[in-house]
Amino acid sequence: MAAEGPATRLVQVAEHPRLLKLKDMFNSKFGSIPKFYVRAPGRVNIIGEHIDYCGYAVLPMAVEQDMLIAVEPVKTQTIRLINTNPLYPDFSTSVNNIQIDKTKPQWHNYFLCGFKGIQERFCLSNLTGMNCLVDGNIPPSSGLSSSSALVCCAGLVTLTALGMSLSKVELAEICAKSERYIGTEGGGMDQSISFLAEEGTAKLIEFSPLRATDVKLPSGAVFVIANSCVEMNKAATSYFNIRVTECRLAAKLLAKYKSLQWDEVLRLEEVQAKLGVSLEEMLLITEDALHPEPYSPEEICSCLEISLEELRTQILSPNTQDGSLGLKGPDLLEQDGEAARCQ
């Protein structure tokens, strides 16, 4: 299934109240009717918190809440975006001048990430424009991956408008990479499950290469997804990227400790693979290798034999360059079961 492209089907808009409402609003905003609709769901993760960007497998499933976009390709070279939620302002830009501001993670930038990902995948220029009406019912900044769903939806919108096709796996990989344009250094779980999800099953998502395996849910099981109403926009703060960076630093420190080529290592799973050890053995190695006190940037530089400037420019992401890292054993062991120190 993953080798196939996303499913397409003909629907009678009049039989779907949400589509009909979207069609009517599209007509009132753009003076025309949409040519097609694209949907991408949000997700919850059952097992494997914050380990996809370390290269380890996760077990998410899609939820009913989604991003839905009504689309009309147009002859102009302008993208016009309108959100059904009035809290999100209208936006338009030239297809030849895609600018994604990492310092201001506004809603339209997530759409531009998906658009740019497809544009760069096919090395395209002078693309046709689009009128798009976006409707999302995933609670924003709630941990259900509304931002990634919008990136995925935009990627699929662009691909469909161009009349091109890619497999679900290719689309997931492109959208995972392109979301980093907004500054979020995720690992690919959100985009993968958005494209690879199937009704009635969770998915074991593995990486390098990306692959998905059905995990049948227990008969009669009920998952309660509760919204705490506490919002966290991961692109607007450094909290998410700090965790990613700490794990990256742990991988490099552990590689150095084990005399591996540490500067080529980005993920903890790579270290495990290069050492050829089991996860249990990795736990023993990391418990022996990492001291429990937080590491300062100066100590990291001493371990890796690099300068502070090299640490900032070559390893840290832009919003983690202020030195506010807390790399230490217990935190990483709780997050990922992996960590490292030099001796």
Nearest Cα residue to 215 out of 49, 5, 16, 45:
45
* CA dihedral sign, ordered 24, 30, 31, 35: negative
Cα Rg of the chain (Å, integer): 21
* Number of residues in the chain: 343
Active site residue 331: no
Q: What is the dihedral of CA 61, 173, 319, 310, to 10 degrees?
A: 130
Residue 33 φ then ψ, to 5°:
-115, 150
What is the β-pairing status of strands 78-83 and 129-136? parallel
Task: Describe the crossing of helices 189-196 and 168-178 by its angle, rounded to 10 degrees.
Answer: 150
Q: How far apart are CA 74 and CA 77, in angstroms?
A: 8
Burial of 120 (0-12, 13-18, 19+ CB in 10 A): middle
The alpha-helical segments, DSSP class H, found in the chain are 17-30, 107-121, 146-162, 168-178, 189-196, 239-257, 268-275, 279-289, 297-304, 308-314, 329-335
Catalytic residue among 190, 214, 263, 322: 190
For residue 9, report the phi and psi dihedrals to the nearest 5 degrees. Answer: -155, 155
Nearest to 73 by CA among 119, 13, 127: 127
Q: With H, G, I as helix, E, B as strand and everything else as coil, classify residue 288.
A: helix
Residue with tokens 């077990």: 59
- Token readout for 234 is 């991961």
Catalytically active residues, by annotation: 190
